[in-house]
Amino acid sequence: MKKLNLKTTPIPRLFLSYFIPSLVAMLALSTYSTIDGIFVGKKLGENALAAIGIAWPIFPVLIAFELLFSVGGAAMSSYFLGKGKAFRARIIFSSVFYFALFTSIIGGFTLYYFSDFVALYLGASAILLPLVKEYTEIIYLGAFVIVLHPTLDIFAINDKQPILAMVAMIVGSCMNILLNYLFLFVFDFGIGGAALATILGHSIGTCILLQHFLRKKGNLFLIRAFDVYALLNATKNGIPQSSSEISMSIMMLIFNHTIMNIAGDRGISIYSVVMYMSIIPFTILLSVAQGVQPISSFNYGANLLRRVKEVFYFSLKFSLLVGIILYIAFYSFGSFVIPWFLQDNIASRDALLSLETKKAMNLYFMNFILLGINLVSATFFQSIQKTFISFIITLSYTLLFTLCFVLVLPKFYGFEGIMSAHPLGVLCASIVVFGIILKEQKSGILKSL
């Protein structure tokens, strides 16, 4: 791929050059979970689907651990590349990689040892407990590739290789689909087969990306260096995005326990389908935010401040437009997608399940109209090393307001109150974001850019 000129290429074209490959790569990554849901729902039924829904908070924790180092490290690497300090960028990359590899292996084996306790803590009922354990134990043992794959992906993007990152995600995703089919429908491995397919798909994607860095094809590659100071700085800059995933995991856990108390395993099944369907719109909006980061980080390091401001305002408008289109699309066609996750005989066993799932989806998906503005703003301020502002925005749209609503609304509106909590939380968070932008325009970083 011809290397992009981050200093001179017009912002809309440059943004799309990063957004489109990131979108394809992230959509490919999202199929790891979505395909699990479709195949497990079709082959094993609602209880198995609910079991994965119960286990879902584990994945944001793993991603949070990855983001804690990779997002901050990648932003710092891009910053130093913009300043022409490539060796410093390589030290940061190598330190993040070695630490993530070692700690994710140790963490995975620790979770495996306590798998019974973790499954119960996640909210598994007596019926779902064996299925949750079977699925999660395999995920724990392969946790290191779930961490390394997106870590290498974001560094490849910041090494001006968005196409390579996209290819790695697509190949890994295609293998995940193939292996899911073989393990579930041909070999009858059960729910553990879906977990094994996920791990092997991530492993293939990791290998594709790793060869780029080992063969020193770009400005970033692995060297024999480990800098604790660089790692700590990467951690500081990665706190906002990492806290987003931790907050998401906490909210999933609270949602699971609240739904289990109100609607039981059936409610968890509905929520699981909604969450599986939400992966796609969330991934698209996240790709918009990721398209901002390398451009703003590089130009901020190069002191091209006008371009930094330009990419921020462009991405805000773009994310709002995409959010509106996504909600209209899923509101109009969601009823055709829901049956993908349910067995063919569901109408004879539970005639109202599909209808109630669609109703829940319509409520929950309203959050996507404004969510992109929150994601873009948090990513932008993190990319120019304004960590505290990014953290406030992240905490607002992931945890703070939604938590308040989910603790109150179900007492009055039941299951519908739970599904309404997140859209209302994002609405309140968006008000906070607009307030921060106005303040920064008058007397903060946006005024000086």
pLDDT by 10s per residue, the chain, length 449: 456 677 878 888 888 888 888 788 778 777 777 777 888 888 998 889 889 888 988 988 888 888 788 877 887 887 788 788 888 889 988 899 999 999 999 999 999 999 999 999 888 888 899 999 999 999 999 999 999 998 898 888 888 787 888 889 889 988 999 999 999 999 999 999 999 999 999 999 999 999 988 888 888 888 888 888 888 887 877 777 787 788 888 888 899 899 999 998 899 999 999 998 998 899 899 899 988 888 888 888 787 888 888 889 999 999 999 999 999 999 999 999 999 888 878 867 887 889 999 999 999 999 999 999 999 999 899 888 788 898 899 899 988 999 999 999 999 999 999 999 999 999 999 999 999 999 988 876 677 65
Q: What is the DSSP letter of 189?
A: -
Q: Are 212 and 161 in contact (CB under 8 A)?
A: yes
pLDDT, position 248 = 82
| Cα–Cα distance measured from residue 110 to residue 123, given in angstroms and rounded to the nearest whole number | 19
Domain identity same for 220 and 253: no
pLDDT of residue 1: 44
pLDDT of res. 210? 92
Residue at 233 is within a domain = no
pLDDT of 303 reads 79
Among residues 226, 258, 280, the one where a domain terminates is: 226
Predicted TM-score of the model (pTM): 0.78
Domain tally for the chain?
2
Nearest to 353 by CA among 409, 274, 262, 257: 274
In a domain, 288, yes or no: yes
Give the long-range contacts of residues 327-336, CB within 8 A, separation 24 or more. Answer: 327/281, 327/365, 327/366, 327/368, 327/369, 330/277, 330/281, 330/361, 330/365, 331/362, 331/365, 334/277, 334/358, 334/361, 334/362, 334/365
Per the listing, tokens 């860095």 go with: 213
User: According to the model, what pLDDT value does residue 85 have?
Assistant: 85
Quick one: pLDDT at residue 367? Answer: 96
Taking the C-alpha atoms of residue 366 and residue 369, their distance in angstroms, rounded to an integer, is: 6
Query: Do 60 and 252 meet the contact criterion of CB atoms below 8 Å apart?
Result: yes
| Domain co-membership, 77 together with 218 | yes
Best CA proximity match to 14, nearest among 162, 164, 212: 162
Q: Identify the pLDDT of residue 38.
A: 86
Q: What is the dihedral of CA 282, 288, 289, 293, to 10 degrees?
A: 150
* Single residue among 226, 259, 274 that ends a domain in this structure: 226
Q: Which of 226, 248, 272 is the last residue of a domain?
A: 226
* Degrees to nearest 5, angle at CA 270 with 268 and 276: 95
Alpha-carbon distances of 272 from 40, 194, 218, rounded to whole Å? 12, 16, 41
Task: DSSP letter for 3, please.
Answer: P
CB count in 10 Å sphere of residue 300: 23
For 194-224, letters b (16+ CB in 10 Å) and e give bbbbbbbbbbbbbbbbbebbeeeebbbbeee
Does residue 143 fall inside a structural domain? yes
Do residues 221 and 244 both lie within one domain?
no
Structural domain for 24, as ranges? 9-226
Pick the closest to residue 406 from 353, 372, 352, 363 (CA basis). Answer: 363
